[in-house]
């Protein structure tokens, strides 16, 4: 996207003309509004006679200048709504040496669906309205006028006043003991129905990390002492009655604190680290300097937590905790530098969850997220959305919260780590955190730490990967000469996106007939041109096959040009590189999928191999699940636009394979659906993922015995994920029992936000055409709330990947109507749904015209002002 199309451009970013040094804030919370008064201490960076503050959707009251004697001088101001700007006229020019004290009154009105600034979260039964805040990036300006900039790091004194029916009033910092000696809110002397609490935050903090919350929670309190003897109080604030569900996450939090301190020598500076459950958020969590908010469905772990959320809970807890360090201690300079905050934090998160759940399984899910057809960064780039990590601009700061920032950027950081080695990487990171501790740092500051530490020139690596869009399409081949005992490996790169060739660290390993890595062929190479040959000398015999960098950081695509079906089968069977095995199986699956599209039988070796994998007792469950997965995703990205065709092929292939192996499938199913006693989470999750894969195949076989086995699994499976996998499989068959199973599933799930989300996804994934009636009926039920991001994300996001029904006339009509309704309620979810249509212009007719008409009509009806990101996304998809 050309830079001129952005509302906010990096080239136009200017540092504010005032530096905020302290905020003295008073927020009076009522059921329908929050009345705010603040004193801002500002230092002019240049001589000024007006102050410009950021403000959005506030009712502005009196604004005064407070002179050194405490006298208040009323000021004239102008609120330019279109620019979200408040221009305050000072009575005279102020010099850089002076301090300006402004007192500002304003009122904000929280809503149910604008999840920025202060908003209404889900209120527990009988409690006063639950108020939550989300300030990143520009949410604070929806609470009070401010300098809403990452560099506005200042100290804070915050008083919150609200009804005494709340259990908690939360903000950043420590409780001021003069006003609140017991550390809790005290009743107002003149109105005992209300109470107040004041927090002092003496560690400078930018407005995007601010939190104000008034809510009703139960608390699980604990503490952890690091190896250095530092004691940190831990609080976990959960919905009333949910304390039991906080015990496991509390253990994870403790483990994270210790892990961080041992692995990264990071010590948390505040007395208390608080985790707060929130229900409604477009994101999984938000750091808020010592007051992490996490969506309830990931923050609580109990019988209703689905497996994907169990892993995610570990990720989000470590992620948000790390942000105290990366983000809090060292803060990005502008939203354009957010990539580095997230790239580093995600890298830490990946290291942690790999340790907890095993490297291979987590790495496979990372690879999946690179390739994800809807919102993966490769798909975004192929769909014409920019893939530049350091952005030139955006329409809304949330636009930066995407696959490029959270998936591509950490992958690039991973390649940088491979390139310079672990030791230099850690040195550079430690230099960064030492040098900028307490301040701000931008992209160049971050990169300079690497440039200074590495002993190679990094400029070309950094330039192509960070400042241009695109990715390399690699192809590899080799030749072996027995006379010269020489292996020549040739790798070429086709560059997608404009620029020079990428610099790519790439490990090549030869594998012998015994499945061992050959010492003579095992090296990290660096490819930095269109074509390179790498010579390995003294190689005693030809490798059976090569492993091409599997398991290492890499962003792009790779094709093994010398692979034959025979060598791929060998790779699947005995490569010592587990990820290489899965990739080889996926390549074979691609061949089978293409056969299906051409109405041919799948290659016989694919079916044979499938049976062998089913029987192989040595394979861990999670890896077996990955090897046996048949889905409509393909490695060959030229098939990306042909979603309906891929889906039909995958269903056909599943059915052929399942019918051939049904006895074996039933045998495996009988064994794998039984949970061993005292099973650890790290074994239960991969075991159940195998149950899921086998369930889908049994459903594809669609015989009576298979349905019976699935129904039994539904009835007897102990975990909520068992129920969801079983119901999803039954619901995809033609059996009449599917409605009954779905009703039972609904009853089990409806009262638990995580489980209900799981149910909605199962409902939306049905391949039957009654899925539309099912969605409509769910929308009308008392349990479903369209403004609840988890509800809408699950139901509509689920339907957006239902490739069996979305690509029908009804499916496309459904999308048009739903997107229109959703646009003004939750633009973020609408963006997710509209991604399904990214490749419309490359689709076959008649689908292409149907979708283009739907999107063109939608573009006419959505507002470019209220929903700029959605509007520009539709324009971009339509190529206009
Ligand atoms: Zn983050």
DSSP letter at 43 equals E
DSSP 149-212: STT--EEEEEEEEEETT-SEEEESSEE-TTT-TTSS-EEETTEEEEEEEEEEEEEEE-GGG--E
728 within some domain: no
Question: In angstroms, what is the span from residue 663 Cα to ligand 1's centroid?
Answer: 46
838 within some domain: yes
Dist. CA 851–CA 873, nearest whole Å = 14
- Angle among Cα 778, 780, 785 to the nearest 5 degrees reads 80
Least confident of 472-486, 576-590, 860-874: 860-874
700 within some domain: no
Question: In angstroms, what is the span from residue 320 Cα to ligand 1's centroid?
Answer: 6
Question: In angstroms, what is the span from residue 308 Cα to ligand 1's centroid?
Answer: 19
CB atoms within 10 A of CB 14: 6
pLDDT score, position 398: 81
Dist. CA 448–CA 367, nearest whole Å = 29
Dist. CA 264–CA 227, nearest whole Å = 13
Q: Is the pLDDT of residue 1 over 50?
A: no
Dist. CA 74–CA 62, nearest whole Å = 7
Q: Record the tokens describing residue 381, joined without a space.
A: 């780039």
What percent of the chain clears pLDDT 70, i.e. is strictly above it? 99
Question: In angstroms, what is the span from residue 172 Cα to ligand 1's centroid?
Answer: 18
295 and 350 within one domain: no
Dist. CA 174–CA 172, nearest whole Å = 7
Question: In angstroms, what is the span from residue 345 Cα to ligand 1's centroid?
Answer: 6
227 and 278 within one domain: yes
Q: In 3D, which of 124, 139, 121, 177 has the Cα closest to residue 57?
A: 139
Runs of H (alpha helix) within 200-326: 247-263, 296-299, 307-322
DSSP letter at 5 equals G
Question: In angstroms, what is the span from residue 116 Cα to ligand 1's centroid?
Answer: 16
336 and 320 within one domain: no
CB atoms within 10 A of CB 488: 15
Residue that is last in its domain, among 511, 530, 562: 562
Q: In 3D, which of 331, 507, 503 has the Cα closest to residue 416?
A: 503
Q: Is the pLDDT of residue 324 over 90?
A: yes
Residue that is last in its domain, among 522, 541, 562: 562
Dist. CA 209–CA 293, nearest whole Å = 11
Q: Is the pLDDT of residue 137 over 90?
A: no
202 and 64 within one domain: yes
- β-bridge partners, 360: none
128 and 67 within one domain: yes
pLDDT score, position 875: 93
Question: In angstroms, what is the span from residue 741 Cα to ligand 1's centroid?
Answer: 38
Question: In angstroms, what is the span from residue 322 Cα to ligand 1's centroid?
Answer: 9
Question: In angstroms, what is the span from residue 321 Cα to ligand 1's centroid?
Answer: 9
| pLDDT tier for residue 265 given thresholds of 50, 70 and 90 | confident
758 within some domain: yes
Phi-psi region of 358 (alpha: psi -120 to 50; beta: other; left: phi over 0): left
Backbone phi, then psi, for 385, in 5-degree steps? -85, 140
Question: In angstroms, what is the span from residue 319 Cα to ligand 1's centroid?
Answer: 6
Q: Record the tokens describing residue 298, joined without a space.
A: 């990931």
Q: Record the tokens describing residue 17, joined without a space.
A: 């003309």
Enclosing domain of residue 259:
220-325
Provide the terminal-to-terminal Cα distance of the chain, rounded to the nearest Å. 11
Question: In angstroms, what is the span from residue 441 Cα to ligand 1's centroid?
Answer: 16
Say how many domains are in the chain: 5
Residue written as tokens 């530490």? Answer: 453
Dist. CA 133–CA 120, nearest whole Å = 9
In this predicted model, what pLDDT tens digit does every residue of 47-72 receive, in sequence order?
Answer: 999 999 999 999 999 999 999 999 99
289 within some domain: yes
Q: In 3D, which of 208, 241, 42 has the Cα closest to residue 138?
A: 208
324-362 residues labelled b (16+ CB within 10 A) or e (exposed): bbbbbbbbbbbbbbbbbbbbbbbbbbbebbeebbbebbb
The strand pair at 272-278 and 231-238 is best described as parallel
Residue that is last in its domain, among 167, 198, 216: 216
CB 345 within 8 A of CB 318: no
731 within some domain: no
Calculate mean pLDDT across residues 271-295: 93
417 and 500 within one domain: no
Question: In angstroms, what is the span from residue 546 Cα to ligand 1's centroid?
Answer: 37
pLDDT score, position 59: 98
43-75 residues labelled b (16+ CB within 10 A) or e (exposed): ebeeebeebbbbbbebebeebbbbeeeeeeeeb
Helix axes of 809-823 and 771-780: crossing angle, nearest 10 degrees:
20
862 and 772 within one domain: yes
Q: In 3D, which of 481, 492, 501 has the Cα closest to residue 533?
A: 492
Q: In 3D, which of 155, 171, 239 has the Cα closest to residue 29?
A: 171
Least confident of 28-32, 219-223, 278-282, 446-450: 278-282
CATH number at residue 238: 1.10.390.10
pLDDT score, position 300: 93
CATH number at residue 482: 2.60.40.1840
585 within some domain: no
| pLDDT tier for residue 224 given thresholds of 50, 70 and 90 | very high
Question: In angstroms, what is the span from residue 811 Cα to ligand 1's centroid?
Answer: 34
Q: In 3D, which of 286, 291, 316 has the Cα closest to residue 301?
A: 316
Q: In 3D, which of 413, 306, 293 has the Cα closest to residue 349?
A: 413
- How far is residue 181 from each of residues 174, 176, 220, measured CA to CA in Å? 12, 8, 21
447 and 349 within one domain: yes
Question: In angstroms, what is the span from residue 135 Cα to ligand 1's centroid?
Answer: 13
Q: Which residues contact 336 (CB under 8 A, 6 or more apart)?
A: 10, 13, 390, 391, 442, 443
Question: In angstroms, what is the span from residue 283 Cα to ligand 1's centroid?
Answer: 9
DSSP letter at 23 equals E
247 and 102 within one domain: no
Q: Record the tokens describing residue 446, joined without a space.
A: 């971050």
Question: In angstroms, what is the span from residue 866 Cα to ligand 1's centroid?
Answer: 26
278 within some domain: yes
Reported as type and span, the H/E element at residue 566 is: helix 565-574
In this predicted model, what pLDDT tens digit does every residue of 701-748 receive, in sequence order?
Answer: 989 999 999 999 999 999 999 999 999 999 999 999 999 999 999 999
Dist. CA 758–CA 756, nearest whole Å = 5
HEC profile of 49-70: EEEEEECCCCEEEEEEEECCCC
Q: Record the tokens describing residue 368, joined without a space.
A: 């999946």
Q: Is the pLDDT of residue 321 over 80?
A: yes
Question: In angstroms, what is the span from residue 318 Cα to ligand 1's centroid?
Answer: 10
Instruction: Compute the chain's Rg from CA coordinates.
Output: 28
Question: In angstroms, what is the span from residue 34 Cα to ligand 1's centroid?
Answer: 28
520 and 372 within one domain: no
Dist. CA 320–CA 326, nearest whole Å = 10
558-575 residues labelled b (16+ CB within 10 A) or e (exposed): bbbeebeeebbbbbbebb
Near ion ligand 1, which residues have CB within 5 Å?
A: 342, 345
Question: In angstroms, what is the span from residue 385 Cα to ligand 1's centroid?
Answer: 22
CB atoms within 10 A of CB 157: 19
CA 404 to chain centre: 11
pLDDT score, position 4: 55
Q: Which residues contact 259 (CB under 8 A, 6 or more apart)?
A: 318, 352, 355
Calculate mean pLDDT across residues 17-44: 97
| pLDDT tier for residue 181 given thresholds of 50, 70 and 90 | very high
- β-bridge partners, 223: 233
242 and 156 within one domain: no
Question: In angstroms, what is the span from residue 326 Cα to ligand 1's centroid?
Answer: 9
CATH number at residue 802: 1.25.50.10
| pLDDT tier for residue 30 given thresholds of 50, 70 and 90 | very high
Dist. CA 511–CA 715, nearest whole Å = 46
- Angle among Cα 52, 57, 63 to the nearest 5 degrees reads 45
CATH number at residue 77: 2.60.40.1730
318 and 178 within one domain: no
Q: Record the tokens describing residue 12, joined without a space.
A: 């136009």
Q: Is the pLDDT of residue 2 over 70?
A: no
Q: In 3D, which of 865, 3, 787 has the Cα closest to residue 390?
A: 3
């Amino acid at each position: 996207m050309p830079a001129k199309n952005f509302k906010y451009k990096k080239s136009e970013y200017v540092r504010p003309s005032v530096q905020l040094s302290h905020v003295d804030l008073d927020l009076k919370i009522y059921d329908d509004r929050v009345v705010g008064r603040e004193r801002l201490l500002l230092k002019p960076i240049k001589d000024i006679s007006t102050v410009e503050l950021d403000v959005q959707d506030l009712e502005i009251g009196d604004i005064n200048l407070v002179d050194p004697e405490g006298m208040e001088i009323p000021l004239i101001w102008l609120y330019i709504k279109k620019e979200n700007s408040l221009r305050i006229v000072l009575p005279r020019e102020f010099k850089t040496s002076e301090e300006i004290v402004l007192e500002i009154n304003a009122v904000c009105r929280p809503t149910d669906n604008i999840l920025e600034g202060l908003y209404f979260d889900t209120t527990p039964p009988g409690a006063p309205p639950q108020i939550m805040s989300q300030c990143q990036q520009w949410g604070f300006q929806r609470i009070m006028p401010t300098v809403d900039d990452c560099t506005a790091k200042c100290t804070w004194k915050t008083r919150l006043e609200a009804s005494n029916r709340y259990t908690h009033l939360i903000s950043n910092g420590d409780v001021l003991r003069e006003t609140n000696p017991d550390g809790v809110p005290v009743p107002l002397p003149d109105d005992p129905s209300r109470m107040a609490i004041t927090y002092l935050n003496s560690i400078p903090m930018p407005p995007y990390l601010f939190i104000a919350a008034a809510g009703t929670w139960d608390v699980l309190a604990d503490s952890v002492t690091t190896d250095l003897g530092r004691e940190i109080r831990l609080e976990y604030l959960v919905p009333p009655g949910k304390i039991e569900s906080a015990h496991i996450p509390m253990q994870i939090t403790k483990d994270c604190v210790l892990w961080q301190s041992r692995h990264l020598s990071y010590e948390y500076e505040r007395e208390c680290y608080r985790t707060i459950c929130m229900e409604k958020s477009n994101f999984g969590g938000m750091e808020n300097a010592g007051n992490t908010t996490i969506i309830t469905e990931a923050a609580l772990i109990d019988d209703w937590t689905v497996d994907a959320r169990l892993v995610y809970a570990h990720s989000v807890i470590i992620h948000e905790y790390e942000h105290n360090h990366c983000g809090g201690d060292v803060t990005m300079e502008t939203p354009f530098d957010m990539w580095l905050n997230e790239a580093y934090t995600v890298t830490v998160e990946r290291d942690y969850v790999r340790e907890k759940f095993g490297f291979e399984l987590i790495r496979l899910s990372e690879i999946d997220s690179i390739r994800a057809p809807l919102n993966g960064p490769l798909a975004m780039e192929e769909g014409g959305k920019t893939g530049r990590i350091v952005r030139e601009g955006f329409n809304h700061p949330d636009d930066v919260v995407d696959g490029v920032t959270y998936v591509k950027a950490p992958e690039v950081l991973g390649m940088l780590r491979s390139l310079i080695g672990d030791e230099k990487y850690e040195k550079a990171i430690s230099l960064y955190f030492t040098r900028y501790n307490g301040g701000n740092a931008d992209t160049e500051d971050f990169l300079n730490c690497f440039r200074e530490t590495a002993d190679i020139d990094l400029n070309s690596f950094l330039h192509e990967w960070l400042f241009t869009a695109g990715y390399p399409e690699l192809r590899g081949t080799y030749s072996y000469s027995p006379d010269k005992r020489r292996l020549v490996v040739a790798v070429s790169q086709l560059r997608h996106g404009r620029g020079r060739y990428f610099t790519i660290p790439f490990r090549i390993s030869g594998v012998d007939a015994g499945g061992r890595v050959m010492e003579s062929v095992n090296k990290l190479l660096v490819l930095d041109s269109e074509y390179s040959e790498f010579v390995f000398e003294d190689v005693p015999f030809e490798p059976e096959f090569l492993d091409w960098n599997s398991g290492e950081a890499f962003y792009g695509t790779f094709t093994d040009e010398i692979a034959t079906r025979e060598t791929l089968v060998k790779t699947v069977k005995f490569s010592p590189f587990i990820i290489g095995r899965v990739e080889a199986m996926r390549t074979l699956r691609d061949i089978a999928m293409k056969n299906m599209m051409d109405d041919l039988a799948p290659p016989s070796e694919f079916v044979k191999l499938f049976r062998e994998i089913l029987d192989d007792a040595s394979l861990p469950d999670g890896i077996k699940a990955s090897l046996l997965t048949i889905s409509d995703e393909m490695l060959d990205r030229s098939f990306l636009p042909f979603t309906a065709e891929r889906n039909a092929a995958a269903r056909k292939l599943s059915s052929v394979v399942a019918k051939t192996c049904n006895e074996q499938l039933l045998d495996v199913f009988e064994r794998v659906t039984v949970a061993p006693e005292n099973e650890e989470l790290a074994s239960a999750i991969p075991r159940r993922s195998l149950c899921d894969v086998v369930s889908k195949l049994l459903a594809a076989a669609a015989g009576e015995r298979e349905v019976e086995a699935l129904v039994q699994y539904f009835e007897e499976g102990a975990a909520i994920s068992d129920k969801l996998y079983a119901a999803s499989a039954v619901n995809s068959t033609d059996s009449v029992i599917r409605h009954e199973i779905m009703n039972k599933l609904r009853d089990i799930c409806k009262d638990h936000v995580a489980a209900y989300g799981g149910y909605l996804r199962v409902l939306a994934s049905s391949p039957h055409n009654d899925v539309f009636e099912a969605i409509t009926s769910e929308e009308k039920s008392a349990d479903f709330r369209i403004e609840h991001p988890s509800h809408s994300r699950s139901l509509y996001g689920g339907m957006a990947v239902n490739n069996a029904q979305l690509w029908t006339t009804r499916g496309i009509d459904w999308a048009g109507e739903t997107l229109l309704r959703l646009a003004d309620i939750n633009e973020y979810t609408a963006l997710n749904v509209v991604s399904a249509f990214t490749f419309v212009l490359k689709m076959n007719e008649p689908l292409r015209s149907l979708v283009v008409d739907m999107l063109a009509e939608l573009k006419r009806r959505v507002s470019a002002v209220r929903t700029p990101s959605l509007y520009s996304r539709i324009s971009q998809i339509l190529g206009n």
